[in-house]
Amino acid sequence: MKSDRITFPPGFWTGLQHMGIAPYDVVHKAQLPFTIIAEPVAVTTAQYFRIWQAYSDLVGDIALGVIKLITFFETTQYPPTVLATYHAQDYRDALNRIARYKQLCPPESLRITEEGEHCTIELEWFRSEQPGPPVLVGTTLAFLLELGRRGTGQSITAHSVEFTHSMGDVKTLETYFGCPVRSDAANNRLVLHRRDLDRPFISYNKELLEILTPVLDRSLDDQRSRSIPEMVKWLLMRSLTGGKLDIRAVASTLGMSERTLQRRLTDEGTTFKQLLTQVRHELAREYLADPKLDIKEVAFLVGYEDQNSFYRAFRHWEGDTPSSWRSEYLREHPPL
């Protein structure tokens, strides 16, 4: 399963600085903590979209924002998932790699189709109730062309580009892509000349690929193995305090509606209530094993504002009171 937490590469903030845009202004406008600039803090899909929209608002014109960011983003700042594509054998290999490793970088995914003289790349959204900001769409498609240009060292042009929303100064985009650009289309799509896919990459590095590919493949396999219930439990364990995290908040963090999350959990043979109970039970045992925490504090940490409700729940789980369970546990596992 694809993760729904997104970390901005350092190059994103560096690119903003080179453009004369203060990263702090973007984060402030997006109403997010400044720590995401200095630290690799993961954000939700909704927060990710807010950062891109804030950037777009500060630049003013969507098309200008796309071209500026693509131009100022240095290759040396590429994250490993992109670095592996930049050092691919040819343009086709690079595009296939970026589509594969996009699964590690939500919320967008790429669908590549080769037919006749053209290669069509469609941008789709992974489990998101709404599409990303136009500036993000434009930057994603422009990057795919920029990847080919930097990799081959040639001025590759597209056959056509389509966007579902207005993109500002279309002429600026047409100059960059070297082809007609259409707005208000049915899909976000980049169409390349298929002959360009065979162009070799001057940045091809077989030794580096042999190092990066196994690492990225393992990360992809690990991520796919994590189920929706596991993700819900992971979120609950890290955010469950005083009963503040409900199914609506979890669904929003995962980039889906409450109804969609309920359906996905049902398909997995469980419910949000059952997972919440499991997490509370597991955490209660973990916290009670720590003699430094009093019972009232444990109740709050596992999401109970009312201590009596915690007592009733724990007796149902263990057939014993929290204090008796702790005494028995500490007798069998005395602290060092």
Interval 237-271: pLDDT, tens: 766 654 556 788 777 666 678 888 898 899 889 99
pLDDT in tens, 170-219: 999 999 999 999 998 989 999 999 999 999 999 888 888 888 888 877 77
Q: Where are the beta strands (DSSP E) in the chain?
A: 108-115, 118-125, 158-162, 181-182, 188-193
Same domain membership, residue 235 and residue 165: no
If asked whether residues 153 and 94 sit together in one domain, one would say yes
3 pLDDT band, cuts 50/70/90, is very low
Q: Kindly tell me if the per-residue pLDDT of 92 is higher than 60.
A: yes
Domain enclosing residue 236, as ranges: 228-332
In a domain, residue 121? The reply is yes
Alpha-carbon 94 to chain mean position: 21
Same domain, 241 and 210: no
Instruction: Burial-class residue 335 by CB neighbours within 10 Å (0-12, 13-18, 19+).
Output: exposed
Final residue before a domain boundary, out of 188, 222, 256? 222
Lowest mean per-residue pLDDT among 29-38, 119-128, 276-285: 119-128
Q: Per mean pLDDT, which of 50-59, 74-83, 255-264 is the most reliable?
A: 50-59
70 occurs within a structural domain: yes
Domain presence at residue 258 = yes
134 within a domain of the structure (yes/no): yes
pTM: 0.64
Is 1 among the domain residues? no
Q: Which of 222, 247, 262 is the last residue of a domain?
A: 222
* Nearest of 124, 85, 88 to residue 108 by alpha carbon: 124
Specify whether 91 is located in the same domain as 199. yes
Decide if pLDDT at 20 tops 50. Answer: yes
What confidence category does residue 235 fall into, taking pLDDT thresholds of 50, 70 and 90? confident
What pLDDT is recorded for position 1? 40
The phi and psi torsions of 227 (rounded to 5 degrees) equal: -85, 170
Looking at the structure, do residues 239 and 113 belong to the same domain, yes or no?
no
The mean pLDDT of 321-336, rounded to a whole number, is: 87
Report residue 223's pLDDT band, with 50, 70 and 90 as the boundaries.
Answer: low
- How does pLDDT run across 208-222, given as a tens digit for each residue? 888 888 887 777 666
**327 or 257, which is more confident?**
327
> Are 248 and 99 in a shared domain?
no
Query: Where does the pLDDT of residue 54 fall: very low under 50, low under 70, confident under 90, or very high at 90 and above?
Result: very high
Please report, as a single letter, which amino acid is at residue 308.
Answer: N
Q: Indicate if 293 and 195 belong to the same structural domain.
A: no
**Quick one: 52 and 166 in the same domain?**
yes
| Residue 329 host element (H or E) | helix 322-332
Residue where a domain terminates, one of 174, 189, 222: 222
User: CB of 141 within 8 A of CB of 190?
Assistant: yes
Overall number of domains in the chain: 2
CA–centroid distance for 187 within its chain: 21
Is-contact 196 148, C-beta < 8 A? yes
In a domain, 14, yes or no: yes
126 and 255 share one domain: no
> Considering the chain, what is the average pLDDT of its residues?
85
- 15-31 mean pLDDT: 88
Please check the confidence at residue 125 and state whether its pLDDT lies above 70. Answer: yes
What's residue 4's pLDDT? 52
CATH number at residue 265: 1.10.10.60
Residue 149 in domain: yes
Whether residue 291 is contained in a domain is answered as yes
